[in-house]
């Protein structure tokens, strides 16, 4: 029997950090890996000891006062960043687009980069979910790549935080050039980390949801060293391209939307990049874009080296509900007839989980085209059917009746009943009409950008979902307005079906964590996630921010509106641990092994803000087992 000294252990860990096995200890991409599985082989923290987790360190990023001053929505910008860890350093972005590097074991700052340094006027804040990492033949050539709210793609030296001067112009590529030239005041923002494929950095952007004309949503790849444009994919096909005939007349011209604002995934082995494409603008009115509107609301597979189309699958035809593809596609494996099928799972706001063959885009479970209601908006031509997977079953309710009204308090029941009886509703895919309309689930319902984590051993896909409807009516606009009708209500354009305390009008649960067995197409377990302090029942809460899963059999997730961080048993859904946070964690956590100590850490951004009321913080919190 022999033992190693702490010094020897540190040396071995350093050697491992130089080998491919290091990926098991680090968190190298937003989704843990290029395929977005958010799965870690670490098991130092497991079902048996997760209840002993303690705060290891806390970092304050220094952006408490972060009122949104870009869109006029007047809300506190959430802190949505998921850090990455490479070679002992942790990198994350802030709502003002700063990038900060910390010592991953102590939380001590190494460097910070501020793209707004020297800029005149007030500081700008916008949601931002993280950064990407690339390195050449050695890690001494490592780069941090990310986009900004004002449409810049920036490359930083991972060791120093200094701009890589050979990239674009002094470390920056102007993404607006050639895309938004005719719309200098329009939004063109990068809110999610780009994808990396070999020596390419691939990025989309957030573009206007209103009006219908504006910057293109096309996806582009740039050389990671020089910043030179490598390829462009037109998310709205041009004449002669596949899908162009899905647009009536000239409706495709200058059309904004149909963009990738969320996170792309890459199959490095097969050379594919997967694009979750959003809605065509304007999101709620399609009379000026009749047809299927490809490639909006589609999962698109491209050859990552060339940008050539491989396959596409549209999940909402002619979207007039803002049912864009909000989540990173997850590369999964489906076990069927004693063989493994490379597959991909796409989550949706409708609560559907589409499971497709990764190589062909063909559904691995039956999908039916089911009739949906017509629109009563003049000129609108809602598509008569929508695709509905037979398996897995939907994760949330897709219709609503009076018997579904919440009874958590008499006051909430009265408010919700009065609201419900004032609304039109005709089940799933009810178009927003001339009268105030209830749509269930709404734009915040189902599975949002929170995404999913995947455990290959069990075949379980872990998805947190919202039970939140939406309310709105299509109101006629002035003759000179950009569109003829626009969604509105007394609570604004994006009104929710909830009471004055932001408690959903449906009976609980309002938020759930689901384990989807991708081999069987069934829900293995479903549990409420989150509590409303003051209510006696476990209601679950609305949630934003996803989960991760480890080989220790633990699913970690923040996301809820109750300022807590939780761990669940991956097999059963039993809650194993809950920790208090300074504010709610509307972000996805991550985990890694300390390079020096060999200790497993779990880190989460806890900032509050966003769509929900509650406490606001500037905290990045790390948890670890006790010494």
Positions annotated as catalytic residues are 322
Token pair of 265 as six digits: 């995934």
Closest C-alpha among 600, 619, 595 to residue 608? 619
Q: Are 389 and 367 in contact (CB under 8 A)?
A: yes
Q: Measure the CA–CA gap between 403 and 297, rounded to whole angstroms.
A: 32
Question: In a 3-state reduction of DSSP, which class is residue 14?
Answer: helix
CA–CA gap between residue 110 and residue 80 (Å, rounded): 21
How many Å apart are CA 545 and CA 76, to the nearest integer? 16
Where helices occur in 441-551 by DSSP H, the ranges are none
Q: Nearest to residue 144, comparing CAs of 106, 188, 95, 97?
A: 97
Taking only Cα atoms into account, the Rg of the chain, rounded to an integer number of angstroms, comes to 23
Sheet holding 219-223, edge to edge: 195-197, 200-203, 219-223, 229-233
The residue behind tokens 């004449």 is 239
Distance (Å, rounded) from C-alpha 294 to C-alpha 252? Answer: 10
The encoded tokens of residue 79 equal 């802190």
Token pair in block for residue 74? 């007047």
d(CA 24, CA 33): 10
The alpha carbon dihedral of 150, 156, 162, 163 has a sign of negative
User: CA-CA distance, 118 to 115, in Å (whole number)?
Assistant: 9
Distance CA(466)–CA(371), nearest Å, equals: 24
Place of tokens 């506190």: 76
596 by Cβ neighbours in 10 Å (0-12 / 13-18 / 19+) ranks as: middle
* Structure tokens, 622: 């790390």
DSSP string, 365-434: S-EEEEE-PPP-STT----SEEEEESSSPPSS-----GGGB--SSHHHHHHHHHHHTT-B--STTPPP-S
| Residue in the block written with tokens 């005041």 | 185
Q: In angstroms, rounded to a whole number, what is the distance separating the alpha carbons of residues 592 and 25? A: 5
Query: How many Å apart are CA 119 and CA 439, to the nearest integer?
Result: 43
Residue identified by tokens 């997760």 is: 50
H-assigned helices in 492-619: none
């Amino acid at each position: 029997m022999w033992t190693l000294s702490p010094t020897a252990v540190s040396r071995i860990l350093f050697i491992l950090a130089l080998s491919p096995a290091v990926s098991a200890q680090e968190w190298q991409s937003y989704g843990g890996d290029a395929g977005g599985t958010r799965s870690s082989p670490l098991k130092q923290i497991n079902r048996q000891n997760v209840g002993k987790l303690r705060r290891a360190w806390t970092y304050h990023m220094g952006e408490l006062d972060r009122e949104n001053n870009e869109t006029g929505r007047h809300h506190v910008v959430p802190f949505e960043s998921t850090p990455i860890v490479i070679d002992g350093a942790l990198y994350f972005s802030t709502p003002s687009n700063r990038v900060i590097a910390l010592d991953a074991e102590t939380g001590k700052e190494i460097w910070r980069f501020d793209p707004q340094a020297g800029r005149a006027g007030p500081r700008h804040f916008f949601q931002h979910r993280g950064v990407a990492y690339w390195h050449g033949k050695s890690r001494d050539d490592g780069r941090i790549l990310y986009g900004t709210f004002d449409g810049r793609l920036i490359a930083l030296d991972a060791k120093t935080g200094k701009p890589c001067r050979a990239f674009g112009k002094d470390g920056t590529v102007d993404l607006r050039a050639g895309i938004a030239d005719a719309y200098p005041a329009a939004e063109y923002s990068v809110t999610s980390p780009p994808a990396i494929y070999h020596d390419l950095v691939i990025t989309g952007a957030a573009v206007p949801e209103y009006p219908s004309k504006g910057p293109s949503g096309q996806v582009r790849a740039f050389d990671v060293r020089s910043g030179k444009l490598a390829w462009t994919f037109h998310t709205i096909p041009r004449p002669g391209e596949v899908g162009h005939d899905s647009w009536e007349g000239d409706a495709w011209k200058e059309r904004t939307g149909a963009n990738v604002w969320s996170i792309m995934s890459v199959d490095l082995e097969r050379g594919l990049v997967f694009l979750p494409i959003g809605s065509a603008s304007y999101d709620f009115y399609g009379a000026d874009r009749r047809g299927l509107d490809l490639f909006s609301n589609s999962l698109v597979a491209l050859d990552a080296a060339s940008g050539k189309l491989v396959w596409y699958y549209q999940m909402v035809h002619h979207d007039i509900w803002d049912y864009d593809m909000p989540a990173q596609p997850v590369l999964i494996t489906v076990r069927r007839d004693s063989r493994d099928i490379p597959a991909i799972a796409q989550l949706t706001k409708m609560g559907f989980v589409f499971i497709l063959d990764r190589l062909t885009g063909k559904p691995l479970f039956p999908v039916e085209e089911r009739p949906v209601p017509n629109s009563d908006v003049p000129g609108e031509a809602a598509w008569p059917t929508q695709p509905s997977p037979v398996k897995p079953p939907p994760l949330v309710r897709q219709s609503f009746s009076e018997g579904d009204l919440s009874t958590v308090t008499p006051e909430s029941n009265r408010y919700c009943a009065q609201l419900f009886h004032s609304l039109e509703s005709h089940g799933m895919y009810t178009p927003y009409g001339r009268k105030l309309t209830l749509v269930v689930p709404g734009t915040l319902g189902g599975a949002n950008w929170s995404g999913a984590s995947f455990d290959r051993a069990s075949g379980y896909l872990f998805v947190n979902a919202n039970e939140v409807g939406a309310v709105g009516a299509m109101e006629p606009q002035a003759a000179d307005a950009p569109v003829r009708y626009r969604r509105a209500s007394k609570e604004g354009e994006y009104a929710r079906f909830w009471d004055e305390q932001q408690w959903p009008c449906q009976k609980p649960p309002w938020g759930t964590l689901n384990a989807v067995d991708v081999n069987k197409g069934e829900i293995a377990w479903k549990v409420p996630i989150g509590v409303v302090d003051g209510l006696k029942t476990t209601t679950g809460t609305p949630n934003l921010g996803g989960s991760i899963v480890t080989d220790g059999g633990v699913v970690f997730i923040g996301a809820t509106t109750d300022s807590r961080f939780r761990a669940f048993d991956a097999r059963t859904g039993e809650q194993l641990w809950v920790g208090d946070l300074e504010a709610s964690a509307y972000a996805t956590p991550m985990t890694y092994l300390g390079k020096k100590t060999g200790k497993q850490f779990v880190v989460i951004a806890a900032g509050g803000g966003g769509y929900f009321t509650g406490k606001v913080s500037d905290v990045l919190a790390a948890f670890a087992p006790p010494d």
